[in-house]
Structure 1
Amino acid sequence: ERLLSYDRAIHSEPSFKRDQKDGLLRDLGHYMRTLKAVHSGADLESAISNCMGYRAEGQGFMVGVQINPIPGLPSGFPDLLRFVLEHIEDRNVEALLEGLLEARQELRPLLFKSTGRLKDLLFLDIALDSTVRTAIERGYEELNNARPEKIMHFITLVLENLALSSDDNEDLVYCLKGWHHSISMCKSKSAHWALYAKSVLDRTRLALASKAETYQRILQPSAEYLGSLLGVDQWAINIFTEEIIRAGSAATLSSLINRLDPVLRETAHLGSGTY
């Protein structure tokens, strides 16, 4: 039942041959270690340590390490990062998501400045972005029976995260404003809130499609070129950009609006949308 409940439902029973056992156990073991590292916030913790500074004493022939904190970080930023780490595994993810987004907002101006520690700042921003996605995925379960305004709130969080990861984000910002207005209309029980929200949802879909086309235009030629030189299978080359998109906030946002779409259609009496 759990496999069938996924957005990409798994319908068939697994069927493996005996000689596949060792290889599968090895690969699944590696995958489990990766999942644990991601969901425990190991990458984020490491990125935060590099920015905030730390010192590790050496033992024997090992040399000690001292990383100085990055100068010029916003006041209160260390406390914000500590809050994020303290709540990284919370079951209720809203406070964590808001903390992550606030941290990315504080960090964003520094990414456009020339600094010798820009790499550390970039890695921190990437880790914060990745943690937003894993937190949202962890919060899917509580959205199963959630009211529309709850789903819309999650959409605004993911959309803001996507906007923070995009340089040409004007359309995303307009969509974000539209979702906030939709939530206000819903809370005030406006007669046409669902119709308005559906229009914002459609605009968000168009923005996502445009973003996907941009990624395709920028990334796929390089994938084709490098893939041919490296002898990569053509099927892997063909889906390269698609997989990059699936790994980002755009895919998470698409999943959320797909959850909300039938609710809005029913509320606004727009029909099922299937033809």
Structure 2
Amino acid sequence: MTNTSLDRNESHPGYWDSPWPVECGGNRRQKASSGRLDAHEGTPSVTLVENQRWNVMTVRRDPGEWYLGGTMPAFSGPPPFGWVQRYDPTTLKSRAESPHLPCGDHVWCGAILVHADGSVMSVNGSFLHRLDPDDLSVICERELPVDRAHNGLLALSDGTLVTKDLRLEGQGGTTLTFLEPNNLEVTETIVLPEGSMGRIAADLIDGVDSVYVPGTEHIWKIDVTQGKPEIADWKCRYRNQGSNSGLAWDSCISDDHLWIMDCGDIEGVRAIHHTLPNGRFEEAA
């Protein structure tokens, strides 16, 4: 068995040099950071802020530069929108906030990251935005090729961005969309043989970015070599069509294995993704 590299021990060339520039701390989604809390030497305290929003994830740029990204739980009524906030890590008060970011009227948790060029990237619904890291104004906006909610946003070793739409079993194949980071131009798309609900993970070995996608029956591997993505011969079946086992959720690469969660097809998720726009209903449940 080989030892999978640890996100916390190395910098990734696609991201700003930060210990937590992307969801879960790195493309392998290992959810661990270096350092220690020494909590036994301090006095515990809790700072709480309620904002009536769907707060999805937080990432860090430079020391003290923390960003929170999310959407609105607008399952009915006024249209939803994405948003990113730069906040004080001690008081949690907002220091800057993006304008309302179009999301194609889809309601689902998107993703944010701090790119190697210093800008903040945000995917929400069917839109991708590049934001100024200081005032979070919109530098560039791109409507994605597929008009569905998207989740998972990673930067590859050359800075290319990759995201995907969400599909349950029987809803066709999920599309992976690859974009260059400056003007967010689409460079490649790949339609998988299956739908996918879980977020993507990636590893970088010998100059090849390998993106792992949890499908409805298999885990798929997409190798990106010199900017060209191809579906690899390797795939792993984890369930059968129509199985009582749930769809794979987010994945983690560690100890030379891929770890997945079994909660991608619960009743609430099914309701959200069986309606278009995703998550929008005429009346509140």
**TM-score normalized with structure 1 length:** 0.26
Higher helix content, 1 or 2? 1
Structure with more of its chain in strand, by fraction: 2
TM-score (norm 2): 0.26
